Structure 1
Amino acid sequence: MDTEATHPERDLPPDAERRPGRGSRFALSRRTAALIGIAWAAVLLLLGHFVVQPFQIPSRSMEPTLQVGDRVIVNKFAYRFGDRPERGDVVVFDGTGSFVRTPAEENPVAGLVRGAARALGLAEPDGTDFVKRVVGVGGDRVKCCDKGGRVEVNGVPVEERYLYPGDTPSSVRFDIAVPRGTLWVMGDHRSQSSDSRDHLGSPGGGVVPVDMVIGRADWIGWPARRWSAVEATGAFEAVPDPPAPGSAGSGGGRG
């Protein structure tokens, strides 16, 4: 009788007793993977908010330095500890109030989803975000053009070798004293760039408050064939510092 009672168990597959446990391990593995994925997404979002953020290039305004579809890594720490944007830096900034009017309010949930996608570099930048090169800082006098067709900063002509081949430094003449705490910015592809020149008559006067700078574009992270640092330029090395506030020759507004 005891022998016959064990026959049904002998007919079961050898691993029958292990199947429930194995299924549980797989289920646990899937849950673990989901938790890891959520944790990584949270880490990336935090990094994107505080440290570095991918930024997708939407236009030709910074060619040849940056091309449409490039994803640049924006260093948000670059100006967090007292450092200020310098001439020649490629910066990403919020143009609200300077390049664009204050945008209409959007649905909070849609805004949160869109913001998360942008923080991960999965969506095009907000319509208020721009990437340009700093040509003048607060206190500088920026003028175009000299007899050689070049931009002058504080009386010194600048050889802008980063410009798109065939472009002139500017088809628009201007003479601006950059107010303290602001930046004069221009694209490298001048004929395709809507920049400080195009906003001279706007309420912001064409300049961007330093406080609206999101960070400095330091690296091209994608596509893989474009992996590289955004090269620094020596174009402004000969430009002298602007006059100190309150000294003769200092001031703000248009020159």
Structure 2
Amino acid sequence: MNRNDVRGSARSDRADGAHHRREDPAANDTAPEAKKQKSFWRELPILVVVALALSFLLQTFVARVYLIPSESMEPTLHGCPGCTGDRIVVEKVGYRFTDPRPGDVIVFEGPDSWSAGYVSTRSDNVVVRGLQEIGSLVGVVPPDENDLVKRVIATGGQTVECCDDQGRVLVDGVPLDEPYVTMDFPFTPGVVTCETEVPSGRCFGPVTVPEGHVWVMGDNRSNSADSRYHVGDEHQGSIPLDNVIGKARFIVLPPGRWGLIDSPEILPS
């Protein structure tokens, strides 16, 4: 091999090396993408934990979605055993600074005397029960407690009773304006009242609500086991404020039922 051949070979090798070096960036285009994918899979568990923690904090301290299981708040809230009832957002912040007022729709944990017919929704299977508890923490499974939804009618220190001569509920002797009540027991002046031999099913009281409590009733007065049916308990049928979870603000499901939940002024000033 002569000197020119050697030089030619060297030049060829350098050219081939340069060619390969020029191709390397293209060959390595997938490297950053692979690193991104590895980084994503490493970060995914952290993102999931953060999301669950945020959900837990929001559900515990800010707001939570509840399912309406019965007809006791018809027509304001739809629900029935075995059907898909309304899902409502219950806001928990407001009552940290103020107390419920007459007209508010609230969710509360029923006192012991209200829980006689309550059946736990938790599974007997330990694994399933554990998953249910975890789901409850992040809000995808209902809590294992007797949570109820009713409307506040009277607050601590007020006296509530029914009825006046028109069949209306009275608070401190003043008849309430309750446009949301469309289903109630019969009451006909001179025929079926609180004074007739067979009194109207509307009649109760008077009951003075203990301080730090609220008196609650369902909008479906003829199908609601509310404060009227627990007058003999330690709270005289009322609910301790400590049991109040929050105020029902709006309906989120089904889509055709979207809207705010009305909390009108029911006690004339």
**TM-score, normalised by the number of residues in structure 2:** 0.72
2:108 corresponds in structure 1 to 93
Question: CA offset at residue 14 of structure 1?
Answer: 9.0
Deviations 1:190-227 (A, max 9, x none): 22211111222334331111111111112223333333
* Structure 2: tracts of 5 or more residues without a match: 1-8, 80-84, 187-199
Paired amino acid for 1:230: I
Q: How far apart are the structure 1 equivalents of 2:110 and 2:127?
A: 23
Of the candidates 175, 183, 188, which is equivalent to residue 157 of structure 1? 175
Amino acid at match of 2:91: N
1:91 Cα deviation after fit: 0.9
Structure 1 vs Structure 2: percent identity of aligned residues?
39
The residue number in structure 1 matching 2:154 is 136
Counterparts in 2 of 1:84-233, with a 5 A limit?
84-100=99-115, 113-114=131-132, 116-118=134-136, 120-163=138-181, 165-168=182-185, 171-175=201-205, 176-233=207-264
Q: 2:90: which partner in 1?
A: 74
> Do structure 1's residue 234 and structure 2's residue 250 form an aligned pair?
no
Change (3 A) 1:111 1:79: farther
Following TM superposition, by how much is the alpha carbon of 1:23 offset from its aligned partner in structure 2, in angstroms? 2.6
What residue is the counterpart of 1:44 in the other structure? 55
Deviation at 1:16, TM superposition (A): 4.9
- The structural deviation recorded for 1:65 is 1.4
- In 1, are the aligned partners of 2:102 and 2:265 still within 8 Å (CA)? no
Separation in 1 of the partners of 2:176 and 2:233? 26
Deviation at 1:90, TM superposition (A): 0.8
Q: Distance in 2 between matches of 1:126 and 1:136?
A: 28
What's the Cα RMSD here? 3.4
Give the superposition deviation at 1:20. 4.8
**2:153–2:217 Cα contact (<8 Å) kept:** yes
Q: Take 1:57 and 1:202, find their aligned partners in 2: how far apart are those partners? A: 25
C-alpha deviation, 1:32, in angstroms: 3.2
SS of residue in 1 equivalent to 2:246: strand
Q: Secondary structure in 2 aligned to 1:219?
A: strand
Q: Which whole-Å CA distance do the structure 2 matches of 1:112 and 1:221 have between them?
A: 28
C-alpha deviation, 1:154, in angstroms: 0.8
- TM-score normalised by the chain length of structure 1: 0.76
Aligned length: 234
Aligned-partner SS, 1:79: helix
**Deviations 1:3-62, CA, capped at 9 Å, x for gaps:** 9x98xx89x999653445433322322343443333122112101111222222222211
Distance (whole Å) between structure 1 residues aligned to residue 268 and residue 35 of structure 2: 65
1:145 to 1:44, Cα distance in 2 relative to 1, 3 A = same
Q: Distance in 2 between matches of 1:103 and 1:84?
A: 30
Greater share of residues in helix: 2
Letter in 2 for 1:218: R
Cα 1:138–1:129, aligned 2, differ >3 Å: closer, same or farther?
Answer: same
